[in-house]
């Protein structure tokens, strides 16, 4: 057999390429290229910039167009630049760019690597869900049934219109004996409610409420909130001033809550990374971060890019957190189970 192989190669046949030979040849070509350190400096600079933004996003000022909050809202998406820059570095045969890419890679995994593992458990004493149903929802009855199908013990709905409230009440009545609607937000519960009242979040109309849910394992204070919307405008940047003021007011209300176990449900129009929500996020835990699987993006429903619909807790232990299937709203519903 060896003689046949020798005869084949002697007669002009090509020797089959051995595994790894192409990689070694490529590496050898790079070693013999004196420009691998000089090429790709712009690519390396872009990699360093992306890494520094991820590491130092808290230092980006909000004084000009709320640029810091805008960056923090979509911070995970900065990781998209890494594979793009990697391809450019390889094509350019730039060792400098490849080394520089270690900075954004390490920064991204340091900030978001924990979200890539499934931390969800089973069971839980209380299951809750929240959904911005959209004021222009074409199928409120179907949306209500879809959210109720999650099996949640407590459901919060935001962006309710006076015309649609009776439809939601009718669709949920058989499963949820207790409910209250305050302004444009509402709460439906399988357990008795008490002490329900609006929460002033400095808007001039009601978009937040507080209630006590009497569960079989004791009282839980539940807050439902829909913070003002934010916009990105060319002339004004990230217009989030009204939302920021409302977040501060909501944070004060939760801080003065007398019940130790607190659950916040709602559309906060901001992510956990956004410093402007610090009055709330500094004293509560995100169920998605503690017991979820992935980022749990909830908006827009057609192509979720940010988790602005939040379930946050204080004094209880998150067990699992997940997003629900799309409804007729432009948001995805989110749900979580907690141990009391």
Residue 120 lies in a domain: no
What is each CA distance from 194 to 68, 213, 219, 311, 324, in whole angstroms? 40, 7, 10, 21, 28
Last residue of a domain, one of 113, 139, 166: 113
- Count of other CB atoms within 10 angstroms of residue 98: 20
All residues at 6 or more sequence positions from 24 whose CB lies less than 8 Å from its CB, including other chains: none
Q: How confident is the model at residue 230 (pLDDT cuts 50, 70, 90)?
A: confident
The answer, yes or no, to whether residue 6 has pLDDT greater than 60, is no
What pLDDT was estimated at residue 231?
76
Percent residues over pLDDT 70 in the chain: 88
Report the distance separating Cα 212 and Cα 189, nearest Å: 10
- Total domain count for the chain? 2
Evaluate the omega torsion of the peptide bond into residue 300 and state whether it is cis, within 30 degrees of 0. yes
Q: What are the pLDDT digits (tens) for 294-303?
A: 999 999 999 9
Residue 119 lies in a domain: no
Query: In sequence order, what E strands does 175-332 have?
Result: 178-182, 185-189, 193-198, 208-215, 218-226, 231-233, 237-239, 262-267, 285-286, 309-314, 317-323
Q: What are the pLDDT digits (tens) for 275-295?
A: 999 999 999 999 999 999 999
Answer for the pair 57, 272: CB distance below 8 angstroms, yes or no. Answer: no
In this structure, the answer to whether residues 81 and 223 fall within a common structural domain is no
All residues at 6 or more sequence positions from 239 whose CB lies less than 8 Å from its CB, including other chains: 66, 230, 231, 232, 233
DSSP at 210: E
Q: What are the pLDDT digits (tens) for 46-68?
A: 999 999 999 999 999 988 778 88
Residue ranges making up the domain that contains 75 = 2-113
In this structure, the answer to whether residues 132 and 14 fall within a common structural domain is no
Q: What are the pLDDT digits (tens) for 299-337?
A: 999 999 999 999 999 999 999 999 999 999 999 999 999
What pLDDT was estimated at residue 64?
77
What pLDDT was estimated at residue 24?
54
Residue 201 lies in a domain: yes
In this structure, the answer to whether residues 187 and 50 fall within a common structural domain is no
In this structure, the answer to whether residues 154 and 108 fall within a common structural domain is no
Strands across the sheet containing 309-314: 193-198, 208-215, 218-226, 262-267, 309-314, 285-286
Q: How confident is the model at residue 241 (pLDDT cuts 50, 70, 90)?
A: confident
Tokens of 340: 């009391």
């Amino acid at each position: 057999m060896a003689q046949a192989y020798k005869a084949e190669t002697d007669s002009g046949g090509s020797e089959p390429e051995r595994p790894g030979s192409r990689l070694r040849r490529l590496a050898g070509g790079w070693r013999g290229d004196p420009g691998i350190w000089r090429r790709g400096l712009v690519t390396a600079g872009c990699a360093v910039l992306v890494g520094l933004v991820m590491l130092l996003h808290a230092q980006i000022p909000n004084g000009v167009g709320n640029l810091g909050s805008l960056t923090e809202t979509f911070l995970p998406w900065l990781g998209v630049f890494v594979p793009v820059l990697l391809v450019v570095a390889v094509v350019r045969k730039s060792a400098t760019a490849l080394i520089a890419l270690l900075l954004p890679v390490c920064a991204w995994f340091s900030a978001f690597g924990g979200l890539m593992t499934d931390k969800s458990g089973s069971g839980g004493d209380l299951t809750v869900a929240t959904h911005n149903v959209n004021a222009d929802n074409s199928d409120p009855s179907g949306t209500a049934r879809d959210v109720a199908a999650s099996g949640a013990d407590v459901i919060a709905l935001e962006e309710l219109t006076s015309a649609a409230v009776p439809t939601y009440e009718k669709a949920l009545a058989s499963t949820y004996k207790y409910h209250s609607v305050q302004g444009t937000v509402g709460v439906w519960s399988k357990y008795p409610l008490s002490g329900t009242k609006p929460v002033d979040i400095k808007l001039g109309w009601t978009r937040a409420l507080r209630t006590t849910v009497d569960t079989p394992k004791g009282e839980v204070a539940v807050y439902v909130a829909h913070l003002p919307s934010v916009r990105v405008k060319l002339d004004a940047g990230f217009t989030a001033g009204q939302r920021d003021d409302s977040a501060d007011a909501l944070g004060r209300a939760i801080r003065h809550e007398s019940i130790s176990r607190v659950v916040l449900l709602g559309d906060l129009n901001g992510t956990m990374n956004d410093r402007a929500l610090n009055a709330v996020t500094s004293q509560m835990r995100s169920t998605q971060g503690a017991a979820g699987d992935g980022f749990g993006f909830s908006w827009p429903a057609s192509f979720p890019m940010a988790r602005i619909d939040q379930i946050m807790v204080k004094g209880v232990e998150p067990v699992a957190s997940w997003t629900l299937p799309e409804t007729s709203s432009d948001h995805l519903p989110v749900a979580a189970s907690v141990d009391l």
